[in-house]
Structure 1
């Protein structure tokens, strides 16, 4: 395994130090099942993480705005006509104050995210480290560290699956560009709104303070998404085992059926375009239940879809259930996944009703016990051949 990024190693070291300094975690039930006590604790942790992120964002924006207000008199009544030397000094003060505030803001956000995510994992009943050095727990801890620090998932191949097989460089660049621009665009829109709503005399004073609510709001949104993702990753490994046991625990599959089950997870990874840790856990669990899988590509969605027609009905059920579970394990089902699932259901001659998939996603995301009936509903009985889609 390649060396982990430095921030990920930092997050893991923090988790380990904190875990060793605290009492052992005792879980009353499976980690993916959130009982009322755990739900209350998780809600409290998530809510205060969002509030703290918003407050530090507002404080950072306030410092930058205050520096600009205090430094403005040095430019005189006509800032554009001020000497270059004064403008350089002015911007040095403004950017210096903003830079220092931003450094403290980012440092606090990273530290608080790591602390909150660690508290969240303990509240969910998930121990991240143990004296026996469990590699699986270390991988879960690494996944949580990446969530806390907003680090991308690894794009390394697992079982020969390339998560970016169906991606183009243009799309990837566009996503990154949009992410970087979001705060700047929000600031621009807020300023445009103020210009239209306020009189000229008030505009200059008001524009300086726009960054305060904008930064607070974005920090709150990001903190909410980070905590939601961390919660899903904490529940993922436990849920992956339970799902795999329900779908594959008592079934004897042909070689083609085993390969289709592995390809179903591979198709999910390709359609989400990332190696989400929950999907990697599920892939390993499916592999554990399907020994001696024959050679063949696992990341070609068209090959997977073509293979469904040649399977017996029971093995189609397995492939469809695995596909649906893989789609919900990251907590969301994107349009590409929904399209793939609809095509798979049609290829197997099944109803394309979306409700079973929605019910499955809701149950997992809300920490409900996994019921066999909810999983099996994702593979409805074959419909008569006369029905048109």
Structure 2
């Protein structure tokens, strides 16, 4: 057995290799479990620190639980809850197979990816002449991999912590100009928000909070929305200039609130602009995103 390990196991039978690999997988599993626990602990600590630094603006509101729950899910790399939001199914436009696959990948993201990386590195470098340097090579690689995971978590936490500030700045301006929005414009905005949530295929807490604030501002009594974007899209050309500008402003800010402003959300925003007879201003979109990430009031 010792000679086989020193010279490589290519000449050993599967049964002869079995004790070695069984021991290796047990040790790798334990190390990965400890590593995962540390990553989660470190992520929760980092998210809590971000929350304190940001001074979450919802601490005394009815929506505080929404934000706290969202921040915790970010730290633990958990997906958004699989339930309707004000009658909206965020995953209505996602195939069942994709929804199931996404759920599985979320659970595998941290732990299994780290475990697989460890096994692959052992298999690759274990067959090389320099396999004695394996610990020196894989150690930094594991550290880099874990740093990437932690960076992604902190990035998401930052977006989620600063999003409510952007929403509050937006709502202050909107409420001061609310009399200029007719019932049609308000319906278009609400259905546009619902469509954006479905296009994003995620119930991001920032989107949920913005939708809730809009429902409050518009004094909507029925909180179960039956989204019909195609029908309301046709009403965009009936809005006056001020109403159109508010639709574009709200949809633009909403697009960057989840941090995922490319792909389907961006195509939806472009669709809204085209329906309004306007051109999507990429620089303005980038500016809105930068303002949110810096915690500055939209200009």
Give the TM bin, normalised by the shorter chain: 0.7 to 0.9
Unaligned runs of 5+ in 1: 1-70, 372-389
Query: Which has the higher mean CA deviation after the structures are superposed, 168-177 or 96-105?
Result: 168-177
Distance in 1 between residues matched to 2:58 and 2:253, nearest whole Å: 24
Equivalent of 1:113 in 31, 34, 43 = 43
Equivalent of 2:52 in 100, 122, 146 = 122
1:243 maps to: 170
Distance in 2 between residues matched to 1:364 and 1:320, nearest whole Å: 17
Query: Are 1:266 and 1:299, in contact at CA under 8 Å, matched by a contact in 2?
Result: yes
2:214 maps to: 286
- 1:262 aligned onto 2:190: yes
State the secondary structure of the residue aligned to 1:257: helix
Number of aligned residues? 294
Query: Are 1:265 and 1:323, in contact at CA under 8 Å, matched by a contact in 2?
Result: yes
1:155 maps to: 82
Give the C-alpha shift of residue 155 in structure 1.
2.6
Query: Are 1:236 and 1:329, in contact at CA under 8 Å, matched by a contact in 2?
Result: yes
Equivalent of 1:274 in 202, 206, 220 = 202
Give the C-alpha shift of residue 208 in structure 1.
7.2
Cα 1:75–1:200 shift into 2, 3 Å: closer
Equivalent of 2:153 in 196, 210, 226 = 226
Deviations 1:287-342 (A, max 9, x none): 11112478995544433422212323322222221111110112331221222112
What does residue range 1-389 of structure 1 map to in structure 2 within 5 Å?
73=3, 75=5, 77=7, 79-82=9-12, 86-126=16-56, 135-172=62-99, 180=108, 201-202=129-130, 204-205=131-132, 211-252=138-179, 253-292=181-220, 298-371=226-299
RMSD: 3.4
Cα 1:246–1:118 shift into 2, 3 Å: same
Query: Are 2:28 and 2:115, in contact at CA under 8 Å, matched by a contact in 1?
Result: no
Give the C-alpha shift of residue 362 in structure 1.
1.2
Distance in 2 between residues matched to 1:338 and 1:163, nearest whole Å: 17
Query: Which has the higher mean CA deviation after the structures are superposed, 183-192 or 334-343?
Result: 183-192
Cα 1:161–1:222 shift into 2, 3 Å: same
Query: Are 1:267 and 1:301, in contact at CA under 8 Å, matched by a contact in 2?
Result: yes
Query: Are 2:87 and 2:223, in contact at CA under 8 Å, matched by a contact in 1?
Result: no
Query: Are 2:32 and 2:115, in contact at CA under 8 Å, matched by a contact in 1?
Result: no
Give the C-alpha shift of residue 129 in structure 1.
6.3
Calculate the TM-score normalised by the size of structure 2. 0.83
Cα 1:93–1:357 shift into 2, 3 Å: same
Cα 1:354–1:84 shift into 2, 3 Å: closer
Distance in 2 between residues matched to 1:193 and 1:74, nearest whole Å: 17
Deviations 1:113-137 (A, max 9, x none): 111111121122238867xxx5422
Distance in 2 between residues matched to 1:370 and 1:125, nearest whole Å: 19
Distance in 2 between residues matched to 1:165 and 1:72, nearest whole Å: 57
State the secondary structure of the residue aligned to 1:309: helix
Unaligned runs of 5+ in 2: none
State the secondary structure of the residue aligned to 2:92: coil
